[in-house]
């Protein structure tokens, strides 16, 4: 039980760290201030896609790392760990997303004292479920690959002891 709690705490801490990292490296689209309000051209709107890509990349790194950690700390639980990994990486993704939004730029419509021709960053946003699904997938990949490699190493050590 202690190892499960340790692993859970590690993933939740990684979720918080991922939120900070995502907010720092994401480069949101810029709204241009016009006489009639805020406008975004097509080139600037590509920044929205970049924000999502950064969220996915941060999640891939965090979840792969945690999957490896979980494989070493929860190795004896094998397949039973699967739902644990899916739930924790999903919670971490939501934590990272919410933290990034809170720490990121405010809603552009609430920014005061804007001048025509100026630019204001868009809020960080994830507008679909797929980026959140990447987190559990890569948590499982990190766990499964590490378990397979560790099993092969154990088998080769066992064969060397048997033959030697």
For the chain, what are the domain ranges?
2-27+54-105+127-157
Give the pLDDT band of residue 158 (cuts 50, 70, 90).
low
**Which of these ranges, 51-55, 63-67, 147-151, has the smallest mean pLDDT?**
147-151
Q: What is the pLDDT of residues 73-121, one digit of tens each?
A: 888 887 788 999 999 999 999 999 999 999 999 887 777 877 787 778 8
DSSP 22-72: HHHH----EEEEETTEEE--HHHHHHHHHHHHHHHHHHHHHHHHHHHHHHH
What pLDDT score was predicted for residue 67? 93
Q: Which residue has the tokens 């004292």?
A: 113
* Mean pLDDT (the chain, rounded): 87
Asked if 97 and 23 count as a contact pair (C-beta separation under 8 A), the reply is no
Spatial CA neighbour of 40 closest among 108, 111, 127: 108
Question: How many Å apart are CA 16 and CA 128, to the nearest integer?
Answer: 20
Q: What is the pTM of this model?
A: 0.85
């Amino acid at each position: 039980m202690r190892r499960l709690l340790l692993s859970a705490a590690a993933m939740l801490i990684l979720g918080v760290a991922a939120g900070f990292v995502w907010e720092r490296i994401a480069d949101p689209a810029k709204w241009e201030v016009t006489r009639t309000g805020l406008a975004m051209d097509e080139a600037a709107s590509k920044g929205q896609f970049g924000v999502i890509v950064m969220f996915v990349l941060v999640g891939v790194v965090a979840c792969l790392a945690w999957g490896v950690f979980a494989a070493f700390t929860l190795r004896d639980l094998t397949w039973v760990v699967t739902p644990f990994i899916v739930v924790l990486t999903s919670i971490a993704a939501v934590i990272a997303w919410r933290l990034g939004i809170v720490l990121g730029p405010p809603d552009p419509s609430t920014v005061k004292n804007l001048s025509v021709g100026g630019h204001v960053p868009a809020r960080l946003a994830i507008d679909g479920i797929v980026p959140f699904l990447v987190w559990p997938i890569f948590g499982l990949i990190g766990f499964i690959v590490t378990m397979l490699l560790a099993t092969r190493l154990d088998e080769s050590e066992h064969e060397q002891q048997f033959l030697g």
